[in-house]
């Protein structure tokens, strides 16, 4: 299991990291606090430990951003001690709150309990796909770029999913049609062209004009 630690106090961050690694967890420690979402997407952790007081944006902001694309369990670890901080943490999507100073055994016990509760009954597959800033939510079919998002039709969603799954590889029109409609003989080839055009228009509206490239006579690719 992989745990991401979002903590700007290096002493606490390293202390928590060492304790988790002794328990056999893989850890991801944030170094650049402007790249928290990118690190999250790159590593797809099973649990996040989130401080509230952080450089630039606070932990509530990053919790909200993560909750837009993921239900990953999250524990707030903070020196803030007012009831309102705890209430806000839970309302923003946190699963638990531990106040500093804390006892390491308590933190480890809460992490183990939360992981057991979450992953004993949930599918552990990733809920998102990401490439070049485009995030595809596999649960609700939304596509996101920065603060903008768009809803896709079922066909648009499947096209983007196929291309992102095969990023860097040309996907032929025949393969695409077989994946979408099982037997391309029963579908007008223009149907694929229309759906690709609609998907491209939505990506342009999100600020990604050239996300899908056409390879003449070969198919489509995202690079």
Per-residue pLDDT of the chain (223 residues; tens, 9 = 90+): 899 999 999 999 999 999 999 888 999 999 999 999 989 988 889 999 999 999 989 999 999 999 988 889 999 999 998 999 999 999 999 999 999 999 999 999 999 999 988 886 555 456 788 888 899 988 888 999 888 889 999 999 999 999 998 888 999 988 888 888 765 555 677 888 999 999 999 999 999 999 999 998 889 999 8
Picking from 153, 148, 128, 111, the residue whose alpha carbon sits closest to that of residue 1 is: 111
List of residues 6+ apart from 89 with CB closer than 8 A = 52, 59, 60, 63, 76, 78, 97
Which residue in the block uniquely carries the two structure tokens 């590593």?
43
The kind and range of the H/E element at 117 are: helix 104-119
Angle at the Cα of 104 (from 101 to 109), degrees rounded to 5?
Answer: 125
Picking from 69, 35, 85, the residue whose alpha carbon sits closest to that of residue 55 is: 35
């Amino acid at each position: 299991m992989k745990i991401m630690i979002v903590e700007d106090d290096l002493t606490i961050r390293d202390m928590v990291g060492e304790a988790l690694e002794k328990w056999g967890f893989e850890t991801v420690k944030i170094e650049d606090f402007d790249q928290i979402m990118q690190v999250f997407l790159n590593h797809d952790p099973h649990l996040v430990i989130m401080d509230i007081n952080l450089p630039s944006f606070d932990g509530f902001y990053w919790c909200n951003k993560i909750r837009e694309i993921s239900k990953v369990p999250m524990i707030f670890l903070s020196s803030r001690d007012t009831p309102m901080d705890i209430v806000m943490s839970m309302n923003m999507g946190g699963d638990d709150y531990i106040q500093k100073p804390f006892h390491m055994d308590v933190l480890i016990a809460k992490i183990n309990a939360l992981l057991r509760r979450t992953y004993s009954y949930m599918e552990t597959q990733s809920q998102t796909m990401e490439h070049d800033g485009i995030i595809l939510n596999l649960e609700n079919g939304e596509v996101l770029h920065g603060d903008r998002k768009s809803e896709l039709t079922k066909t648009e969603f499947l096209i983007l999913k196929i291309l992102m799954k095969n990023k860097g590889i040309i996907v032929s029109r025949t393969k695409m049609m077989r994946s979408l409609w099982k037997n391309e003989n029963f579908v007008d080839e223009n149907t694929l062209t229309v759906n690709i055009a609609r998907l491209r228009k939505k990506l342009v509206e999100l600020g990604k004009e050239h996300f899908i490239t056409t390879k003449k006579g070969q198919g489509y690719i995202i690079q």
